[in-house]
Structures are given as structure tokens and as C-alpha cells.
Amino acid sequence: MHVWEVFRQEQEGEPMIHVGSVVAPDRERALEYARDIYSRRYEAYRLWLVPREEVVEVTDLDFLQPPVDRTYRMGIAYRVTVEKRRQIKEMFENLAKEVYGES
């Protein structure tokens, strides 16, 4: 018996989405099982079946890091944390006290 990973496209142009797995003795039976389970209510426009042993898993975190640092594109530096908001609020409160006097 082999495990097959099933991907489904629900409408033309949409991405293929992993919907589950089927266990079958051969490819033809896997196709039948996938159709019966994942397209029984006409949900599928297209199905892909991939033998689980053909799926390549990448877990090396060093490999998954981009070769060039492009964090400047992510806008992380522009995000304002709660602490930063508190500091900005205090700064403006102090500025208002200087300009308008203590109240």
C-alpha cells in the first residue's frame, strides 16, 4: 500500500491546495479513491496525486534563509511597537507641557 498526497483545484485559475491523503495499492486505485473522497460533490476542477515518497521535505533552516538580506522590503523598521507608541505619546505630552504650560 502506498500513501498519495492529494491536491485540488476548485475553479480554473485557482491554486492547487493540499486537501489530504489516500492510501491505495496502485495509482489507478488512488485516482478512484481521490475522486470519490475529494470530488464527490463536484468540488474539484482538477486533482493532482503525488506519491508521498516523492515529496521532498526541506527542514534545514540555513538553506531556507534567502541568500541576500532583503528585510528592508518587509517594512519591519516601519512597524511601531507598543513600547515605541508609549515613548512617542510621552514625547508629545512633554512637548505640549512645554508649549502650553502645565495643566
For the chain, percent of residues with pLDDT exceeding 90: 58
The whole-number pLDDT of residue 26 equals: 95
Domains, in order of start, for the chain: 2-54 (3.10.20.520), 61-100 (no CATH)
Would you say the pTM of this structure is higher than 0.85? no
* Positions of E strands within the chain: 2-9, 17-24, 46-51
Least confident range of 15-19, 23-27, 76-80: 76-80
The whole-number pLDDT of residue 91 equals: 92
Mapped onto helix, strand or coil, the DSSP state of residue 83 is helix
CA separation, residue 13 to residues 9, 18, 34, 38, 55 (Å): 8, 16, 21, 18, 24
> How does residue 101 score in pLDDT terms, banded at 50, 70 and 90?
confident
